[in-house]
Structure 1
Amino acid sequence: MKSTLTLRTPGGLSLRTDVRALVVVVALLLAACAASVVLIGTGDFPISFGDVLRTLAGNGTAGQDFIVNELRLPRVLVGLLVGASLGLGGALFQSISRNPLGSPDVLGLSQGATSGALVVIVLLSGTAAQVTVGALLGGLVTGLAIYLLAWKQGVHGYRLVLVGIGVSAIVTAVNGYLLTKADLVDATRAVVWMTGSLDGRDWSQVWPLLALCAVLVPLVLANARGLRMMEMGDDVSNALGVRVERVRMLLMVAAVLLTAAATAAAGPVSFVALTAPQLARRLTRSPGPNLVPSLCMGATLLVTADWASQRAFGADQLPVGVVTGVLGGVYLLWLLVTERRAGRI
């Protein structure tokens, strides 16, 4: 039997928490914090773990303060926020579609955000801020198209995934066409952005993403109960008083915004949204969407992958999207084989 912890407030409210899931969340948060400190200390001017902590507390030298707080801390915060957004967005889509393949990578949302960015880069020669806006709009338009095409007296899991795969193929072809129309400078800039990287990220990327997460994460968690009931089926959820289509639409919009914002901030970082919810579920061994563990897992995965991209290949530093793409591709193949053996695909 699963052990649970019940927390009671003076007002009479109670919250039941799975102890194992709580331990996993705490462990992932500690791992994300430790990986972040190590990542901040990594670079051409290495800084020890203790010196990083002292500098973050305001007790470092002037040089350490500049390197840590101005150059490296924004990059790490963007990585944490992007990973958390992708992990939470992936958990939402997998729960709504009731399919482990229902992630933004497979459904085409990342490719849609990429199309929006490419339009700004190739056709408009826009600034970095305009590229961010273009990626957000591209993700939103793609998400709306998938929802409308998948609608037939409601949105159901496999239909959503199949429509998303079709839209992804179309958008990927559009992206290839846009690259062929670009001049050499814009094409190079677009390919670098499409790889997915945290290089050069500063506080101007941190604050918008932090504000969006501050709004959307509480909104998503407030509807977590309805989402968990929806996994039992629409009829059962309706009988239990859940307004299924309203909750589904609200959470899909939140997931699209989280994915588009993450893509706008760091480019299309592959497979974090697919793998983070699955790994979190295996660690917690808990049914349901596992929203908070997925969020923490996504943040931990991305900062760890960013450290690996800088240190695991010697002098050759790779964009973080290359590392997550390779590892996520291997995981996707394993997942497909597992699902086939279980007779689910």
Structure 2
Amino acid sequence: MSTCLVTGGAGYVGSVVAAHLLAAGHRVTVLDDLSTGHRDAVPPGADFVHGRVQDAGKHVGGGYDAVLHFAASSQVGESVADPEKYWRNNAGGSLELLAAMRRFNVPLLVFSSTAAVYGQPEATPITEDAPTRPTSPYGASKLAVDHMIGAACAAHGLAAVSLRYFNVAGAHGELGLGERHDPETHLIPLALQVAAGERPSLAVHGTDYPTPDGTCVRDYIHVDDLADAHLRALDAATPGEHLICNLGNGNGFSVREVIETARAVTGRPIPAKDGPRRPGDPAVLVASAERARERLGWRPVRTDLATIVSDAWNVRLAGTGNAGAGNAGAGNAGNGRT
């Protein structure tokens, strides 16, 4: 049993990972400034500290065996409009966290990275050896943190694992933990908001891609499978090594397939309006998760798209509030970026 600090543990992925850690018998403290997270998403049994990761030196003390780092700004479009925020929060905050970990001799880090570091891929499925050419300050800031972590491992013997997510979806049904972003930009929750009558329609950005139905293809991973990978990363981390693993389903689903699945799951109409391509959207983003299988012993088990959508919809129907509505307006179904 370890004592873990979960930064950003009041957010979507962080809260689900915190719940899995508690279920596995670990002691958990969540650090979150609630700028995008929600206090009611912190799972029962976790201690909570209201604070910023930029002030990690005030919050990371002795006694932690590991840090799982989710705290970050994560909107691609916003990062283009306000890059300073992303360098300050993502890169600057992570630098302060690494310094605090060294000061207090915390030996292990699991970092929430992203497939956005790869930018426009040269080939699919995408492996960890693919060129890293992020096309947004969001992806660039996350890549910078990966470089910081690698240097800390080499210089100070830190044990670290960076997990590069593709598209995370679904919900942790036991505690009703689902996506609750504001603004919402991810395809599955947007489709469910339309089904629930909270948005009038979805906008499909691009119908002429070189894919079977002309719409973008993306790799979706269930949030519970993602959480399982984080717990396995705790066991796989090795002092002095920075292990990087992609996490994905290994299969791609098109925008139209996701919309049709959401219609079937909900039994409700989901109007979708076709539009032109959006600049910078790759046709296909699918992960190779072979390294995660080999090094972490991880394999996703909730790979069916209908299961992923059903879990998200059931949490919404349950009315727990943890998968609440986003802003009203037309949804953006270009891809569902990570």
Higher strand share: 2
**TM interval, short-chain normalised:** under 0.3
Q: Which structure has the larger Rg over C-alpha atoms?
A: 1
Give the TM-score taking structure 1 as reference length: 0.25
Give the TM-score taking structure 2 as reference length: 0.26
Higher helix share: 1
